[in-house]
Structure 1
Amino acid sequence: MIQLKRYNPLTMLLDLWGLAKNAFFLVIFLFVLKSGSESTFIKYGRIAFYLFVGITVSSIILKWFTRKYKVDSSSFYMYKGLFNKFEQTVPFTKIHNVQRRTTLFHRIFGGTSITFETGTDTAVKFDVISRKEANRIEIHVKRMTLDKATTDQADSDEMGQPHTDEKIVKLDSARTIHFKPTRKDVLKASFTSLSFLILIPLVTSFYSKINDIVNVEDKAEGFLASIMNSWWVITILVVILIIASITFGIVRAFLKYGKYEISSDHERIYITKGVVDESAFTIEKDKVQAIEITQSLMKRLLGLAEIKLISAGSLGEDALDTNSLYPFLPVGRAYEMISEILPSYEVTQTMERLPKKSLWIRLLKPSWIWIIATAALLYFKPPIINHTHSWWILSAGLLIFIIVSRFLDYMNTRYILNGKFMQFKTGSLQTELFVSKREKVIEVKVTRNKFQQLLGLASIGTINRAKPVHHTGIKDVPVELADSFYTWYAGRTKEIKIE
């Protein structure tokens, strides 16, 4: 019988560290700045703080004592609860993604965190675990999953098939590295992501918290006034702020993308990133439900793109970052990488455009945002450059922006049904190209309002398995496409695989 195990005791220390970070400013206020205060509010605040800390620490310890797990040849088993017992079973066959994260805390104690994600809300997560144990569990899951393809190890030997361990070694040796960013790529990422602008809100937020406690503005009023009256001091401070912001952006980009690596073998895709805070993400190629290529306005100007993998599994708190192959790939390299990593997917760059009548229905559609904003401007009539009757400029500017945005959306929208693949491209300032297989689409729909019926148009949409469920679609396509869309989807019955 497999013995139950407790989670790593460092899990308690990690929770206590989180508690300490959240309570830092409160401790400074209650016990440092107000150390000599006899205020009733401060006294009761300290009592409430002691109670909160005591209850939280007790719950952290109790949670560790009441949580256990075990791993056998087919599943994870998790147990928790003191009076109300709760048991959860997660078969290895339901695991879609494996995600690792090694923060500074983990590095200090030689550990890591690992999460086995499924296609539902269920996930097997170890917040703190030794790297040796994490490797052992991950290899065990991979071994048992591969071993499921054979009925018995002895039968595999008789048939001349390789052992499961040999398969794992073969897969690891066959791993191909597709991308590692150069210094130029990291520098480009720091400016494209505008990460150098993050320093300003960070400093502002920190100053606001300190000012709420210490009231810096009153104490430094004379000093600030002398600075504001000296133009050369202001110039030096601005230059220092610009240099600090650029340096901060470059350092932040290096820490995030400096050790980025995209690799794959015959069955899985591997993404690793981070210098201090390391993350690793593994996904089976068969579990990729769709591909999304996004381009912001700046990325389009610079010829860059971001490839995102739509997965059936939940990707945790870092989903937006973890499922991205790399946010700043050259467009040509992005298309090449898709064919390298996922050869079963086809991306067609020649696509159909919307008919001209689709533009008119978009331009003539009422904008409730503009109507409500104009009504508010008409009522309040805010002055613009000291002219109280110039509020209409804001209304006209908003209307022009909406019209231009709709026109760009019309120009950028594309679609094509290419054999068993579908491609939708949408967006105005930012565009998204969505590519999926017919067998990965779990639902389609076609809708038509009165105006679309008069003009022979329709709206089509699809749903893919993801966490959350991924919806995509195109509005105002020809009705002929909507009819063929149903016929195209009907061919799915010959392709789907029952898991």
Structure 2
Amino acid sequence: MTTTPEPPPAAGERRLHPWSWLFVLIGSLRQFLLPLAVLLVYGGRREENYQLVVAGVAVVVLALVSVWRYFTYRYRADGDSLFIRSGLLERSLRQVPFSRIHNVELRQTLLHRLFGVAEVKLESAGGTKPEAQMRVLRLDDALALERLIRHRGRGADVVDADATDAGEPLLALSTAEIVRLGLISNRGMIVVGAAFALSWQVLPEDAYKPAFNLARREVFGYAEHFNGSWSSTALAVAGVVLLALALVRAFSVLLALTRYHGFELREHGRRLTVERGLLARVRSSVSRRRIQAWTLREGILHRLFGRRSLGIDTAGSQVGDGEQAQRDPPELAPIATPDACDALLRHLLDGADWPPADWRPLHPRAWQRLLVGDAVFAALLAAGLCWYLGPWGLLGLLWLPWGWLLATRHARLSGYRVDAKLVAVREGWWSRHWRFAEIDKLQALQLRQSPLDRRFGMASLWLDTAGAGAMSPPLRMRYLPEAEARRLHDTLAHELSRRPLRW
């Protein structure tokens, strides 16, 4: 995705690529692949043949629908809008103004790259699914459409001087950085766990028994080789667990290399573009003014490697039915040093004071409020263990010292900052995050008090922006002194009432 062809003419309709029906068919068949494979492997030889016939008929119907879509789908750029016409029996004409398109995503799987095509998704703020999903266009047509949106989105008569070049590079990840990202992330464990859970539901009940029995025999057989003592058995089990964890981490590194190979963040005028991927190449583009909130993350492994990650919420990143759990906006920095993240933020926030030097603390008794949840959990844990183990179950109360450490550290490191431009919050100790947004992007605020909050004389302030992602932490100022929380609420409410919403 490196060429910069001329944009398509404003007048004249264009079709999808002639092979688009094939990619639509493949995409539709993905959800049937696993059940069909299970049917072929574990299905009966005679009595279930009708299921294969039904599956064959479904494939034929999907193929006809895909061909139908190719012949009825048209798009054209005219003036300041993109017009999309589809349907044969029930026809529709959809108009999408360029200024309303928040995110543009170009995706190329390995098969797309072999055919020289790309899938294009256009997302706006209001929908729970893409405004348009074009499967598929020729690569030069897809790039031209992206360039046209970047140009026209700022006004039909405005020429974007940066649209013709490669853009200004802001961040690039080396292979070593991507390996660090794989070691830090838990993506491999999530994928393995999801695959195991899915196979457990689909495969027959006794499918895993031979594997479990073989693993048990190997582990105990290895322990018996060293006289079969309990310490040898424990070492053998620990060795198997460590080996499994190492393999999962190696898988996470492989996934990171596949997903983030060639990661580049570039700036084209007021628009940011992220390109990444080894087998499937993805190019996402978002306008800077569409960014609603920012999130800096730092887990325990991040600190071990001296790294952080920077993500954003845009107005088009909501959860949608039939789509993936969250349509993630471009990741500005999946991994970077703290100094690199801070420099990137100062550049993109137009001179905002970052990082803040004077964080405001929480209520002096905030650690006690945080400890309440851990105390309740420790009591329930001890009660449950006592039910099964008798007096030994009181060992569950040992959770209290750990909870006290978490609560005190969390309360000490948490804080907030409000200035003329930004609202920023930092939370956590073991796993930390910084959540912040421009005041002009705030849509609503709430003052909350639970009965416990009133007992401790504190309150929390929750702030809403457009398009907060399902995986993003909430923007909230928790456990502030009640008078301070009410003062902040009144100040921000006044600012929201007099400032126009920028999104």
Verify the 8 A CA contact 2:107 2:280 in the aligned structure 1: yes
d(CA) in 1 for partners of 2:202, 2:465: 47
Distance 1:182 1:452 in 2: 47
Tell me the distance in 2 between the aligned counterparts of 1:463 and 1:33: 50
> Is 1:109 matched with 2:111?
no
Shift of residue 220 of structure 1? Answer: 11
- What SS is found at the alignment partner of 2:350? coil
1:329 to 315, 323, 336: 336
CA contact (8 A) 1:174 1:266 kept: no
1:352 aligns to what SS in structure 2?
A: coil
- Give the superposition deviation at 1:13: 1.2
1:410 aligns with 411
Write out per-residue CA displacement over residues 218-239 of structure 1, whole angstroms, 9 at most, x where no aligned residue: 699899958974679x999999
Report SS of the residue matched to 1:60.
helix
In the alignment, the residues of structure 2 paired with residue 174 and residue 495 of structure 1 have an alpha-carbon distance, to the nearest angstrom, of 35
2:494 maps to 490
- Post-superposition offset of 1:75: 1.4
Residues 48 and 392 of structure 1, relative CA distance in 2, 3 Å threshold: farther
Amino acid at match of 2:144: R
Alignment pair present for 1:193 and 2:185: yes
Residue of structure 1 in register with 2:231 after alignment? none
In structure 1, the partner of 2:448 is 447
Question: Structure 1 residues 361, 202: CA separation in 2 closer, same or farther (over 3 Å shift)?
Answer: closer
Write the distance in 2 (CA, Å) between the matches of 1:278 and 1:324: 14
Give the TM-score normalised by the residue count of structure 1: 0.80
The structure 2 residue matched to 1:13, chosen from 14, 18, 22, is 22
Give the counterpart of 2:271 among 268, 271, 279: 268
TM (norm. structure 2) is 0.79
The SS at the match of 1:270 is: strand
Aligned residue in 2 for 1:465: 466
Give the SS at the match of 2:425. Answer: strand
Query: What secondary structure, in the 3-state scheme, does the structure 1 residue paired with 2:467 have?
Result: coil
Task: Map residues 159-238 of structure 1 onto 2, 5 A cutoff.
Answer: 164=158, 167-170=159-162, 172-173=164-165, 175-194=167-186, 212=204, 229=221
1:138 to 123, 141, 146: 146
Closer, same or farther: CA 208–457 of 1 in aligned 2, 3 Å: closer
Q: Is the 8 A contact 1:199 1:248 kept in 2?
A: no
Counterpart residue number, 2:421: 420
1:1-45 residue CA offsets vs partner (Å, 9 max, x unmatched): 95444433433212322354444454445456657x23x3x2343
Would you say the 8 A contact 1:119–1:467 is kept in 2? Answer: no
Q: How many Å apart are 1:375 and its aligned residue?
A: 5.5
* Match runs of 1:86-105 below 5 Å: 86-105=92-111
8 Å Cα contact 2:174-2:262 kept in structure 1 = no
Contact 2:352 2:421 in 1 (8 A): no
> C-alpha deviations, 1:104-124, integer Å up to 9, x for none?
121111111121211111522
Per-residue displacement from partner, 1:126-146 (whole Å, max 9, x unpaired)?
Answer: 132111111222222233234
Bigger mean CA deviation after superposition, 47-56 or 67-76: 47-56
Aligned counterparts of 2:369 and 2:67: Cα–Cα separation in 1: 62
Q: How does 1:265-414 map to 2 (within 5 A)?
A: 265-314=268-317, 317=324, 322-347=329-354, 348-364=356-372, 376-377=384-385, 381-383=387-389, 388-394=390-396, 396-414=397-415
How many Å apart are 1:206 and its aligned residue? 9.7
Separation of aligned partners in 1, 2:220 and 2:201: 23
- Based on CA coordinates, which of the two structures has the bigger radius of gyration? 1
Correspondent of 1:475 among 463, 471, 478: 478
- Write the letter of the residue equivalent to 2:25: L
1:43 matched to 2:49? The reply is yes
CA RMSD of aligned residues (A): 3.9
Amino acid at match of 1:432: H
Find the counterpart in structure 2 of residue 157 from structure 1. none
Name stretches of at least 5 consecutive residues in structure 1 with no aligned partner: 151-163
Provide the rounded CA distance (Å) in 2 between the counterparts of 1:287 and 1:374.
Answer: 49
Counterpart contact for 2:442–2:501, Cα < 8 Å: no
Structure 1 residues 241 and 73: alpha-carbon distance in aligned structure 2, compared to 1, 3 A threshold? same
**Partner SS, residue 410 of structure 1:** helix
Contact 2:363 2:458 in 1 (8 A): no
Secondary structure at the counterpart of residue 382 of structure 1: helix
- Give secondary structure in 2 for the equivalent of 1:356: coil
| Contact 1:196/1:246 (8 A) holds in 2 | yes
Q: What's 1:160 paired with? A: none
Partner of 1:133, secondary structure, is helix
Structure 2 Cα separation of the partners of residues 303 and 487 of structure 1: 37
Provide the aligned length of Structure 1 versus Structure 2: 472
Structure 2's unaligned 5+ residue stretches are 1-9, 226-235
Change (3 A) 1:376 1:43: farther
